Amino acid sequence: MAIQGTELKKKIQELSSNLYGELVRIRRHLHRHPELSNEEVHTAEYICSQLEESGIPYKKGIGGNGIVAVIKGNKPGKGCIALRADMDALPILEENPVPYRSEADGKMHACGHDVHMTSLLGAGKILFSLKDSFSGTVKLFFQPSEETYPGGAIRMIGEGVLKDPGVQYVIGQHVINTVEAGKIGVKAGAYMASTDEVFLKVRGKGGHAATPEQVIDPILIASHILVALQQIVSRNANPVIPTVVSFGRISGEGRTNVIPEVVNIDGTIRTYDEEWRKKIQEKIAEISTGVARSMGGDCEVIFSPGYPVLVNDENVTAKVRQWSAEYLGEKNVMELEARMTAEDFSYFAREVPSCFYRLGIRNEAKGITSNLHTSTFDVDESCLETGAGLLAFIALRMLNG
């Protein structure tokens, strides 16, 4: 008979507690040896070694360095759910004075992907030990290249990870520094923004800065373009649709007395509406080229598409919220606000009903408060026990009720 209810909760909590020391060891190994997007070769080898040690069957080389492990329950019945973790690190030099500090110069798991992989491995170990007590199939997706477009999710989907057997739901877990360890956060509906990059190349006529009448100043043109583009959010966007148009880099190879020929401007576009997403690009191109031409120059506009809006299925998210409250207690399940950051988990969520929730890692008493993507980012490692156990509990509640 399948383990259910309070018995299931207690069993998984016991198993995750017993695994805690091993989970810390795994996470610290992964943290010491980060690899960037599309370079996760040794990371994949280590994950495979952990799966082999547990007897969990897997296939590697999916969507690049991705891995898909499959755990089938021995009870009669169907159903398939997937759990996903990303694998890649960031090009950041770690500044934490900890024994597990990154040994890869200029590379760091500053977004918690080491925690994601460890939690998923832990959940896999728990589920594999319980396979005689549940029906259906759980797939474990270890996904490469989340941090670099086009991302590993769409490649893994293209190679059939959602098929044979067909995946009904995908659950993703990601750390968050604003929620305390031992708690999680959820939000139904649109949760994370689409993201596109824009590159403007403003051309003028260079020359000596002391003879402005002989030049067409691309720096001045670029300045007017940047100011004009602010009206997209303030005057063109529907106020109820979150929108960001930001520019983080401007460069012109001039000097104090040299006006350059070209100025480059690089930025990002984020929103929650796919139709408006297209119109923003049209507006940027229209304004940029129009301003440049009106001042005697021209502007080339190039867009690099990014990830779509991440939408958490209302029904699946309600279940995740309910089962998280069962497992952690109602007070430990937080309601999140929408974010303008982006995630390629959105590709999974476009294919099947999915939920992407947040795992708390904050501990103010220990000074663990730094934001993601910073050189001092770290986690309260007690989150590993929470993360592994909750993933396993959600998977079995999703399969067997």
What homologous superfamily does CATH list for 5-192+309-400? Zn peptidases (3.40.630.10)
Residue by residue, DSSP assigns 187-256 as: --EEEE-EEEEEEEEEE-B-EETT-GGG-B-HHHHHHHHHHHHTHIIIIIS-TTS-EEEEEEEEEE--BT
Q: Any idea where the domains of the chain sit in the sequence? A: 5-192+309-400, 194-304
- Residue 183: Cβ within 10 Å count: 21
Q: Which residues are catalytic?
A: 307, 381
- Residue 133: Cβ within 10 Å count: 18
- How far separated are the first and last CA of the chain, in Å rounded? 13
pLDDT tens track, the chain, 401 positions: 466 678 999 999 999 999 999 999 999 999 999 999 999 999 999 999 999 999 999 999 999 999 999 999 999 989 999 999 999 999 999 999 999 999 999 999 999 999 999 999 999 999 999 999 999 999 999 999 999 999 999 999 999 999 999 999 999 999 999 999 999 999 999 999 999 999 999 999 999 999 999 999 999 999 999 999 999 999 999 999 999 999 999 999 999 999 999 999 999 999 999 999 999 999 999 999 999 999 999 999 999 999 999 999 999 999 999 999 999 999 999 999 999 999 999 999 999 999 999 999 999 999 999 999 999 999 999 999 999 999 999 999 999 87
Rounded to an integer, what distance in angstroms lies between the CA atom of residue 362 and that of residue 365?
Answer: 9
Report whether CATH 3.30.70.360 matches the domain 194-304: yes
Residue by residue, DSSP assigns 69-98 as: EEEE-SEEEEEEEEEEEE---BS------S
Rounded to an integer, what distance in angstroms lies between the CA atom of residue 324 and that of residue 217?
Answer: 59
What is this structure's pTM? 0.94
The residues pairing with 186 across neighbouring beta strands, listed in sequence order, are 335
Judge if 5-192+309-400 and 194-304 fold alike in CATH terms. Answer: no
In the structure encoding, which two tokens stand for residue 331, read together?
């007070």
Among the listed residues 351, 43, 316, 182, the one whose alpha carbon sits nearest the alpha carbon of residue 51: 43
In the structure encoding, which two tokens stand for residue 168, read together?
């009904």
